[in-house]
Structure 1
Amino acid sequence: MEIQDLAKAIDGKLYGNDDFFSIDGFTGKFTFLNDSHTGDIVIRHWINETGIKMAFDKNIACLITQTPKDCAIEMAEKLNFPLIVCDKIELANAYALSHTIDKFSPNSTNVIITGTNGKSTTSHLIYHILKNAGYHVFTNTDSESEFNTLIDPMVSKLISDEVIENGEPDYLVIEVSEVQGWLGNLMENHAALMSAAVNPKVGVITNIAMDHIGLVNSIDDVFREISTVPDAIGDGVCVVNFDDDLVMKLNVRNPFYTSMSELNDENAVYYNGLGIVYDNQTILTNDELPFTGHHFIQNILSAVGAAISLGLDIHVIEEGVKSYKALNRRFAKLNDEPLIYDDFAHNPDGIRATISETKKLLTDNQTLYVVCAIRGSRGVEINQLNVEALVESMDDSIELILSSSNDVVNDLNFVEEDEREVFFNTLNENNVEFIHYDNLKECLSDTYNKADKKDIILLIGAQGMDPAESLLKDII
């Protein structure tokens, strides 16, 4: 690679030096400044003159940024150090991902998963099916969905590290955020850009719904972001949710359908109430499914559809699904008496689906305690939609408890006054009774002590509910 070609590919302008800085050129690794070594390329959203000095001292090949601060450019020129400044950092990260796969994992079969809900569970289940079958698999999915944004070179770094340590994977299973941005600005076509960089043989689109309010402000915006993904998948198979009207409006070249109702199509897998059916055969009964909630079965269908599209033997797929253990905070059972479930329901569809499924577990004279962490520093709009979803889900069997989780969140997830007020006002306007706690530990302790052994406690929310399991261990 020539540095001028790199700059041109990402629409960047080169400062400081017209060649890579290190004597041996570029190692092929894209990474972070703190983790970088001689010959690596670092990608950072912003850099100042101190960062340029660090890069110079580390003898890295060059540094790419969107926002040079203070005297970064002047320092690069003074040190004769190559600095590439681009208008869209996502172009650099997409290039890094594509280059990394081409260099370190050129023979792997690649899968991408995107959509509003169910990405992580679907990705992790595909990963498990393949790994259980004996394949070497890499995935960027983790329990807190930290690596699916692809707005930094983390996944590129992880792939190169994996290959160096363990050899080239047979499969890459890459979760892609359907909508992404930085500092409140939408990165247009993020999902398509990153999907194309992976060059997938199979792509999965789970659904299209509202999330990431502020980056997008209507369902039309979300549809527009996802609508370009099928082109990025190209001639690969695209596993699509037949039950989602917006997904079915996408222009898909080679579809494979999933549905919660019977489908008469050879390229389809569906759920008939008793189990999962493919090619007119029940391949997994209800008793063999790792979880039976409606939205989780949709995730299983997507994963099974992807595995079929990859050409895996049906028996291999069956064994993978039957042996699967869910990610943390995906309707995880934390206690038996009372039953406590914890789920990463953090947007309207997730809230409705999770409460709906939990209510099915109730019998006579049981109370369902829904403990919801308000989303902090995410804006009024998403919290308005979340509380409206709560209102729709309420009935006489439910007691609602809210937490601002001030004791466990950092500044990036602190619940602002207007976010709290939109919850309070909407619930009061709809005559929904609730209790609010500033701190999560007190909230969990009081709810646990209040609940009868026969009752059910459902914990939902994003970062504000993440520490719940560890806190409950002390409380219980």
Structure 2
Amino acid sequence: MEIQDLAKSVGGKLYGNVDFFSIDGFTGKFTFLNDAHTGDIVIRHWINATGIEMAFNKNIACLITQTPKDGAIETAERLNFPLIVTDKIELANAYALSHTIDKFSPNSTNIVITGTNGKSTTSHLIYHILKTAGYHVLTNTDSESEFNTLIDPMVSKLISDEVLENGELDYLVIEVSEVQGWLGNLMENHAALMTAAANPKVAVITNIAMDHIGLVNSIEDVFDEISTVPKAIGDGVCVLNHDDELVMKLDAQNPFYVSMSEIGNLNAVCYNGSEIVHDGKSILTAEELPFTGYHFIQNILSAVGTAISLGLDIETIRKGVKSYKALNRRFAKLNDSPLIYDDFAHNPDGIRATISETKKLLKDNQKMFVVCAIRGSRGVEINQLNVDALCESMDDNVELILSSSNDVVNELNIVTAEERDVFFNTLKENDIDFIHYETLKECLTETYQKADSDDIILLIGAQGMDPAESLLKDII
């Protein structure tokens, strides 16, 4: 690779040096500044003069950034160090992913999963099925969904590290955020960029719903972001949720449908209420499924549809699904008495679906406590949609408890006064009683002490609820 070609490919301007800095050129690895070694390329959303000096001392090949600050360009020129400045950091990270796959995993079969809800569970299920089948497989899915962006070169680093340590990959399962941005600015066509960079044989689109308020402001905006994904996979298979009206408006060249009812299409996998069926044949009965909530079965269908599209035999798929254990915070059972479930429900659809499924577990005289962490520093709009979803989900058997979780979140996730007020005001307008706690520890302690042994406690929310499991261990 020539550095001038690299700069052109990422839409960047080169400063400081007209060639790679390290003696042996570029190693082929894209990574972070702290982890970089001689000959690596670092991609950072912003860099200052101190960062340029660190890169110089580490003898890395070059550094790519979108935002040079505090004399970064001048320092690069003084040190004769190559700095590429691009207007869109996502172009650099998409290029890094494509280059990394070509160099380190050219023979792998790649799968991409995107959509508003269910990405992580679907990705992890596909990963588990393939791993159970004996393949060497890597996924970027983690329990907090932190590795699915084009803000940094995390996915590229994961791939190169895995291959260098454990050898060639058979499959790559890449979770892609349907909408992405930085500091309130939308990275347009993020999902399509990353999908194209991965060059997948199969892409899954779980659903299209509202999230990421501020980056997008309408469901039409979300649709526009996701609608370019089918084109990005070319003649690859596109696994589509037949039950989602907006997903069905997507123009996919080679669709494979999944549905919670029979749709009379041979190119589909469906759940008929008692079993998962494909081509008129039973694959798994309801009793064999690792979980039975509506939205979780939809995730299972997407994973099964992907496995079928990859050509895996039915017995291999059955074995993988039956042995699956859920990701952390994906309707995870934390306690039996009272029954405590924890779910990463952090947007309106997730809140509605999770509360609805939990209500189905209620028996006579049982009470349900919904403990919700308000989303901090995410804006009034998404919190308004979330509290609206809560209002729709409450009834006489459900008690609502809120937490600002000030004791466990960092400065990037602090609940603002405006975010708290939109929750309080909306609940009061809808005559819904609630209790609010500033700290998560007090919230969980009081709720646990309040609940009877046969009640159900449902924990929902994003960062503000993440430490709940560890806190509960001490409380219980």
User: If the TM-score is normalised by the length of the shorter chain, which range does it land in?
Assistant: over 0.9
Greater Cα offset, 208-217 or 276-285: 276-285
Instruction: Give the match for residue 389 of structure 1.
Output: 389
Task: State the AA in 2 paired with 1:414.
Answer: I
Moved over 6 A (4+): none
Report the Cα offset of residue 150 of structure 1.
2.8
Task: State the AA in 1 paired with 2:164.
Answer: I
The percent of aligned pairs where both chains have the same amino acid is 84
Instruction: Give the match for residue 412 of structure 1.
Output: 412
Instruction: Give the match for residue 302 of structure 1.
Output: 302
1:314-343 CA-to-partner distances (Å, cap 9, x unmatched) read: 110000000000000000000001100000
Task: State the AA in 1 paired with 2:427.
Answer: L
1:393 and 1:209 map into 2 onto residues whose CA distance is 18
1:231-276 CA-to-partner distances (Å, cap 9, x unmatched) read: 1111000000000000000000000000001021111000000011
1:46 and 1:330 map into 2 onto residues whose CA distance is 33
Tell whether 2:62 aligns with 1:56: no
Instruction: Give the match for residue 3 of structure 2.
Output: 3
Instruction: Give the match for residue 101 of structure 1.
Output: 101
Task: State the AA in 1 paired with 2:212.
Answer: H
Unaligned 5+ runs, structure 1: none
Instruction: Give the match for residue 289 of structure 1.
Output: 289
Tell whether 2:234 aligns with 1:254: no
Tell whether 2:16 aligns with 1:12: no
Aligned to 1:21, the other structure's residue is in SS state coil
Instruction: Give the match for residue 170 of structure 1.
Output: 170
Instruction: Give the match for residue 373 of structure 1.
Output: 373
2:350 and 2:342 map into 1 onto residues whose CA distance is 12
Aligned to 1:295, the other structure's residue is in SS state helix
2:124 and 2:248 map into 1 onto residues whose CA distance is 24
2:214 and 2:324 map into 1 onto residues whose CA distance is 36
1:429-457 CA-to-partner distances (Å, cap 9, x unmatched) read: 00000000001011101100110111000
Aligned to 1:169, the other structure's residue is in SS state coil
Task: State the AA in 2 paired with 1:312.
Answer: L
Instruction: Give the match for residue 65 of structure 2.
Output: 65
Tell whether 2:201 aligns with 1:201: yes
Instruction: Give the match for residue 112 of structure 2.
Output: 112
TM-score for both structures, normalised by structure 2: 1.00
Task: State the AA in 2 paired with 1:104.
Answer: F
Task: State the AA in 2 paired with 1:70.
Answer: D
1:54 and 1:80 map into 2 onto residues whose CA distance is 14
2:50 and 2:462 map into 1 onto residues whose CA distance is 35
1:225 and 1:150 map into 2 onto residues whose CA distance is 14
Report the Cα offset of residue 70 of structure 1.
1.2
Q: Which residues of 2 match residues 57-456 of structure 1 at below 5 A?
A: 57-456=57-456
2:461 and 2:264 map into 1 onto residues whose CA distance is 38
Aligned to 2:263, the other structure's residue is in SS state coil
Aligned length, in residue pairs: 476
Aligned to 2:401, the other structure's residue is in SS state strand
Aligned to 1:389, the other structure's residue is in SS state helix
Aligned to 1:5, the other structure's residue is in SS state helix
Report the Cα offset of residue 168 of structure 1.
1.1
1:298 and 1:151 map into 2 onto residues whose CA distance is 29
1:159-211 CA-to-partner distances (Å, cap 9, x unmatched) read: 00000000111000000000000011000000000000000000000000000
1:6-42 CA-to-partner distances (Å, cap 9, x unmatched) read: 0000110000000000010000000011100000000
TM-score for both structures, normalised by structure 1: 1.00
Task: State the AA in 1 paired with 2:127.
Answer: Y
Task: State the AA in 1 paired with 2:86.
Answer: C
2:275 and 2:330 map into 1 onto residues whose CA distance is 21
Task: State the AA in 2 paired with 1:254.
Answer: N
1:162 and 1:73 map into 2 onto residues whose CA distance is 34
Unaligned 5+ runs, structure 2: none
Aligned to 1:75, the other structure's residue is in SS state helix
Aligned to 2:396, the other structure's residue is in SS state coil
Query: RMSD of the TM alignment (CA)?
Result: 0.5
